[in-house]
Amino acid sequence: MSPTLSARLDRVIADLPESFPGPGGAVAVVRDGQVLVRHAWGFANAELRIPFTPKSLFRMCSITKQFTCATLLDQFPDPADLDGAVRAQLPLLPGPVPGTAQLAHNQSGLRDYWAVAMLLGAPAESSFGDHESERVIRATRSLQFAPGTRFSYSNNNFRILSNALESRTGRSFAELLRTRIFDRAGMETAFLAADTRALPDGSEGYEGTVAAGFRPAENRILWTGDAGLGASLDDMIAWERHIDATRDEPDSLYGRISGPVTFADGAPATYGFGLSRGVDRGRAFTGHGGALRGWRSNRVHIPSERLSVVVMLNHLSPAHVALASVVDAVLDQAPAASRPDMDPPGWLGAWLEPETGLSLRAAAAGSGQVQVQFGHSPEGLVLQPDGSAVNPGMALVPDGDGLRLERVGDNLRSRLVRLAEGPKRLDAAGVWRCEELDAELTLVDAGGALYGAFSGALGRGRMEQMTAVADDVWALPCPRALDHTPPGDWTVAVRRDGSGQAQEITLGCWLARNLTYRRRD
């Protein structure tokens, strides 16, 4: 390592605890198969004063998905061989039933079962284990889109895959991971940490902020192929070194899960086999993040540089931002300069995307940027001289008197419908029922403010104040969910009959959309 690279890394690593304050964290940099950085700081358990070290166990959450897919391809080189075991878990879905590869690419059309759990009334800290997950998955009666045509993140895709692997091999998923992946990669302490209530070494995840204080996070979810990996920084270093050591092997595990993936129409996909893939800073990359209440992690691999970076935080600071700062230091690349202020475009406001039924809200964000609420969480877009606004995953392009939405990663391109402003009508108050979910939405006019809550097989959710987006379109927030990261605001669109009476609601968020509710009374 050159002295200048060493100095850059020393600076950025020393800055991480201040820039991303919390109980503790860890970071690794592997280049050309050599470990340039192996560093941890703070505490894995602040109450018990257990230091965070490179050997501390950590909940890697959704980073698990690539290991599930590596196991899939190790056991079944042709994923279609597992289609029957997938189909058996969806007995009420009339068809078409998504194939194994479509699950692995998040192209199944299945609604995310953690989001659906909120529609079924699950409180934020409730238990969600094998019984609950099977109940939600087996009750599936429809898809959000035809398999292979779109991308939508769905955690149950990977739980179904791990269930199918167990069914077909007769071996536990934990055993398959250990013998087929972890042992081969030298991940000595990695294991399937399915029960989220505790880790065996006492490591803890935390909620809170420096100003409000930190507290241990409550988790009662049982995870498998979607987010069950428990691993230390040393385990992740072993994985990254295994990737580099096998880079030229035509049948390498990572080479197989990181290869090109397409949609059914041949368009390239930016997600496949549990990995995001794309181009950033002028270089192709693969990677993934992980998030659970109390835990944030991210890893990236840049093959042209033989570079891997891993960041793990046992609190809720943005690990992906920390990771980007480390990558920039390795590549000696300055962060992107802020754009000059530009006049806000005339298309700001509320729109409806017709295929998904979701509202899109765009507002000025300063420094030549626009903030958009549409998908999982607010997104920043940079204004362009032609009046459009873009980020790596989304573009909003003026089109005559309208606006076009382009989300290449989702294979979605559509012309948005501007939502009309109007009076804040509260007559949608009442009980609404979704037959497909056997669940209810209760809307209450509480002194001139509309509140909403879900009820169903998993309980009674809390009342949340709704925000009027436009005439007969509301946003119902979901600030806390099973895995902390909420599914995003729910779009509640009221439909009226010829006499003007509220008769039907179309409800959805990016992870679970196009559900119909009708008045129970």
Q: CB-based burial of residue 255 (10 Å sphere; 0-12 exposed, 13-18 middle, 19+ buried)?
A: middle
pLDDT at 336: 63
Q: Do domains 3-75+184-331 and 349-418 have the same CATH topology?
A: no
Q: Which pLDDT score is estimated for 369?
A: 92
DSSP string, 195-244: BTT--TT----EEEETTTEEEEPP--BB-STTT-EEE-HHHHHHHHHHHH
Q: What percent of the chain clears pLDDT 90, i.e. is strictly above it?
A: 89
Query: What are φ and ψ of residue 373, in 5° steps?
Result: -105, 110
What per-residue confidence (pLDDT) applies to 339?
Answer: 64
| The predicted structure's pLDDT at residue 330 | 97
Q: Alpha-carbon distance 191 to 186, whole Å?
A: 12
Cβ-Cβ contacts under 8 Å for 475 (sequence gap 6 or more): 359, 361, 373, 466, 467, 469, 489, 490, 491, 492
Q: Which two tokens stand for residue 101?
A: 């590869």
Handedness of CA 124, 129, 135, 137 (dihedral sign): positive
Structural fold of domain 349-418? Lipocalin (2.40.128)
Q: For all residues of the chain together, what is the average pLDDT?
A: 95
pLDDT tens profile 423-456: 889 999 999 999 999 999 999 999 999 999 999 9
- SS3 for 346? coil
Residues 6+ apart with CB under 8 A from 346: none
Mean pLDDT score, 314-341:
88
Task: Enumerate the active-site residues.
Answer: 62, 65
Whether 382 contacts 345, CB under 8 Å: no
Rounded CA-CA distance 160/138 in Å is: 10
Instruction: Give the tens place of pLDDT for each residue, 294-310.
Output: 999 999 999 999 999 99
pLDDT classification of 335: cutoffs 50, 70, 90: low
Q: Over 268-317, what HEC string results?
A: ECCEECCEEEEEECCEEEEEEEEEECCEEEEEEEEHHHCEEEEEEECCCC
Please say if the pLDDT value at position 337 is more than 70: no
Q: Give dist(CA 423, CA 471) in Å, integer.
A: 6
Residue 485 has pLDDT above 80, yes or no: no
| pLDDT for residue 494 is more than 70 | yes
pLDDT at 125: 82
- Distance in angstroms (rounded) separating the CA atoms of residues 183 and 180: 7
Of 502 and 1, the structure prediction assigns the larger pLDDT to: 502
**Domain range summary for the chain, segments of one domain joined by +:** 3-75+184-331, 349-418, 430-519
Band the pLDDT of 281: cuts 50, 70, 90. Answer: confident
Peptide bond into 79 cis (omega under 30): no
Average pLDDT over residues 47-66: 98
Task: Write the single-letter amino acid at 53.
Answer: T
Contact 152, 145 (CB under 8 A): yes
Q: Which residue has the higher pLDDT, 325 or 337?
A: 325
The mean pLDDT value for 127-140 works out to 95
Average of pLDDT values for 326-337?
86
Q: Which CATH class is domain 430-519?
A: mainly beta
| Beta carbons of 137 and 160 less than 8 angstroms apart | yes
Which fold, 3-75+184-331? Beta-lactamase (3.40.710)
Confidence band, pLDDT 50/70/90 cuts, at residue 179: very high
Per residue in 180-230, pLDDT (tens digit) is 999 999 999 999 999 998 899 999 999 999 999 999 998 999 999 999 999
pLDDT category of residue 482 using cuts at 50, 70 and 90: confident
338 — pLDDT class (breaks 50, 70, 90): low
Q: Is the dihedral of CA 422, 427, 429, 432 positive or negative?
A: negative
Two tokens, residue 170: 């007769």
Is the Cβ–Cβ distance between 502 and 496 less than 8 Å?
A: yes
Lowest mean pLDDT among 159-173, 257-271, 331-345: 331-345
